[in-house]
Amino acid sequence: MKKIIQGFFFQKSTYFTDDQRHSLGIATTPAMLIKKDYCRIMFSGIISTEPPEQLDELEVPGYMIDRLGLSILSNIRLLPDELYFKKMYSKVLDSSVYEMIAKSNEIRFSFERKGEIWIGEYEARGGCSGIAQCVIADAPNELFSIAP
């Protein structure tokens, strides 16, 4: 059986924004501010619950795609209330983050089930870490082939 995983990971981000303050209804001079916040990045993918030796030779245990690129999942451990896996990008779509991804190489995810939502965190080498949330749903094998 395969499962569909869909969620968001949140990465700390620092960015510039304009701030126009109003005094008595009159706009004052706009100012540039540095804000620290979280950047939300959506991901989706497939996780196989089959043991690796039962997969076809061309099949991977799991894969994921997000705005940064395509990644392969390994060391997947899905328990009733816990999920762990390692993620490695195989194709980077956003060249501006290529160096960061190349340095971190492997990203470890861990989740705990909280009702219907899985709440967790991720960590990569080089200090890149953050929060992640997802939902997981069963995907019948028929979903992955063309119906006759």
105-135: per-residue pLDDT in tens?
Answer: 788 999 999 999 999 999 987 777 889 999 9
Query: Which sign, positive or negative, has the C-alpha torsion 42, 86, 58, 134?
Result: negative
* CA dist., res. 24 & res. 104, Å (int): 50
Query: Which sign, positive or negative, has the C-alpha torsion 63, 65, 69, 75?
Result: negative
**Across all residues in the chain, what is the average pLDDT?**
79
Any domain includes 82: yes
Any domain includes 124: yes
CA 1 remoteness from chain centre: 22
Q: Label residue 46 by pLDDT band (50, 70, 90).
A: very high
Q: Which residue has the higher pLDDT, 33 or 109?
A: 109
| Domain tally, the chain | 1
Phi, psi of 126 (to 5 degrees): 90, 10
Any domain includes 79: yes
Domain that residue 27 falls in: 2-141
Q: Kindly state the tokens that stand for 28.
A: 């004052």
Q: Which of 15, 5, 69, 64 is nearest to 39 (CA)?
A: 15
Any domain includes 72: yes
